[in-house]
Amino acid sequence: MKNASLITAILLLSGNALAATGTDQLVSLETLRVGDGLEVSLPTVRTVDGTICQSYVSEVSRVSESRMISVKVSKVCGPERRVSNERGGSYLRPANLRAIRTFTSDGLTIQFPDVETSG
């Protein structure tokens, strides 16, 4: 749990630092449990040019036989689109992002973006 708190703190601090410099703005923060109690915070940000970037867990693996987990976070960026949720609220996501699908296997969770391709 200490690792999860540290990762969350680092992402929050980096989000605040970006906002303070006038570059990117934190829109939302989602937390995903990726394995063995490790939680990763996944920010959605609005860049200076108005693009929305949504983060997702693109790779996750165990480091050898230990309880350590290696996590790679990637992002999908595109023009802003407001999407309604089932609770009557709404959230922002890149317009080219249809969905992010989450899968768990052997106790590890990974995500796959469903992105519209142009052309």
Q: What are the domain boundaries of the chain?
A: 2-115
Cβ 37 vs Cβ 109: under 8 Å: no
pTM confidence score = 0.76
Which tokens go with 44?
Answer: 């959605």
Which tokens go with 71?
Answer: 């996590």
Other beta carbons less than 10 A from residue 38's beta carbon: 19
How many angstroms separate the first and last alpha carbons of the chain? Answer: 45
pLDDT at 8 over 70: no
CA distance 109 to 56: 11
Residue 36: DSSP 8-state: T
Cβ 59 vs Cβ 110: under 8 Å: yes
Average of per-residue pLDDT values in the chain = 83
Which tokens go with 99?
Answer: 């969905």
Q: What does the pLDDT look like over 60-115, one tens digit per residue?
A: 998 877 778 899 999 999 999 988 888 888 888 999 999 999 999 988 999 999 99
The amino acid sitting at 23 is T
Q: What pLDDT is stored for residue 18 in this prediction?
A: 46
